[in-house]
Amino acid sequence: MSLLNRLHGARWCPLRQQRRRCNGVRGVFAAATLNRGDLVLSVPLRYCYITQCCSPHDLGRSSASSFETVKGMQHLRRCNRGVALFPEAWMWLQRFSADADTDHVSLSCTISCEAAPGSMSAVPTVMSLTLSPVEATLATCVALRYFYAHALHLSAAARVAHRIGPPPNVLSDHFIASLPFEDYLQWGLESLYSDSSSAEAHLCLEQLSCNLRDAILTHATNAEFRFLDESPSLLDSVILTSLYLVRSRVLRMPLLSSVSSKPDSSCSVFAPGLDALNHCGASPAAAAVVSAAQRSVVVRALRHITRGEEITLDYRQTGGGIGERSPRCFQTGSLLGRDEICMDDDCAARYLIDVPR
């Protein structure tokens, strides 16, 4: 949680990060009692990336339509202009955009899947996976910073002197150091998959990581190309790991409009600090939203949280899911289904919108 101290304008309640006694998983715990609606964490949007937007007008469209059209891509770039977490991200986002002037990078992959045992269908099933240009951008930024500084152990002075990789940045480098790269690389990503659908998704991500690698090599300087070409297997592993690290940290959440007459929508957000909060589907302690009025990602308590209790989110629906006996934050709609979000006045006004006091 030391990263929060480097995010200017971020606010948070007393927290401590420690491992669970039951299984050793690292989590975030309340260092003081919190009541329903109390602020847990607020991260300014200037440090967060919007990987995908969804408005009520997008109903019925494919999940990738928001960034496959010129208008949608322009809107996505506007949402991510000037984000401070990775200064080099804007350059890569332009390169990965569907309307890029240079060689287009494919961010979609489709593979044929094996028929399920006992299936009578003669038509093979197909799995498709599409990256948002912002996800591709973040994975590339994360991969290059880790590859040069940690995998190759090049000092900041050497990288600056020879113009290798992105310039050192205190915030960016601190965030990279907080990611569990070593654990992923040590145990291997393949060990995470036990069913065929997960393995097929892994194959899609492997192909997409190859596309990102080709883009990196295309835009590399001569000095960078020499290092990249000397360790191709390591580079491939780092890029693939970066894809997993980025995609696992993108959360779908409500986007509360700053205009009362405008319906709320939803978006997918990559916000530093939120990845420290573990998932709990049964009874999450907190919910996260994007507040347009405050230009922040806001996490508030959904229920009473005692001191020493772990603060968790429901990754599947971060704005709700507070148990069958508790009132739902959403009256209609589903985040995963990309429907219009209608929040009841009590929840929106008192618990989830970050109103300054």
200 and 290, same domain (yes or no): no
Question: Is 92 part of any domain?
Answer: yes
Please state, in angstroms and rounded to a whole number, the distance separating the CA atoms of residues 135 and 107.
10
Per residue in 27-71, pLDDT (tens digit) is 999 999 999 989 999 999 999 999 987 655 554 455 555 666 778
Residues 203, 78 within the same domain: yes
By DSSP bridging, strand 265-270 and strand 49-54 are antiparallel
Q: Are 237 and 282 contained in the same domain? A: no
| Residues 76, 12 share a domain | no
Looking at 248, 263, 294, which one is the last position of a domain? 248
CATH code of residue 19: 2.170.270.10
Considering its fold, how many domains does the chain have in total? 2
Domain hosting 101: range is 69-116+123-248
Report, in angstroms and rounded to the nearest whole number, the Rg of the chain calculated over CA atoms. 21
Are 146 and 166 in contact by the 8 Å Cβ rule? The answer is no
Distance of CA 77 to the CA centre of its chain: 16
Together in a domain, 342 and 214: no
> Which of 15-19, 256-260, 319-323 is the least confident region?
319-323
On whether residue 257 sits in a domain, the answer given is no
Closest to 181 in 3D by CA, of 144, 155, 156, 215: 144
> Which of 248, 280, 304 is the endpoint of a domain?
248
- 80: which 2 tokens? 């991510």
- Of 297, 272, 273, the residue nearest 287 (C-alpha): 297
Closest CA to 3 of 242, 320, 318, 249: 249
162-217 pLDDT tens trace: 999 999 999 999 999 999 898 888 776 665 555 566 778 888 899 999 999 999 99
334 pLDDT higher than 80: no
* 223 and 81 housed in the same domain: yes
- Whether residue 342 lies inside any domain: the answer is yes
> One-letter amino acid identity for 209?
S
Is the pLDDT higher at 233 or at 67? 233
Q: Do 92 and 18 lie in a common domain?
A: no
Do 276 and 137 sit in the same domain of this protein? no
pLDDT at 128 > cutoff 80:
yes
- Residue 121 clears pLDDT 70, i.e. is over it: no
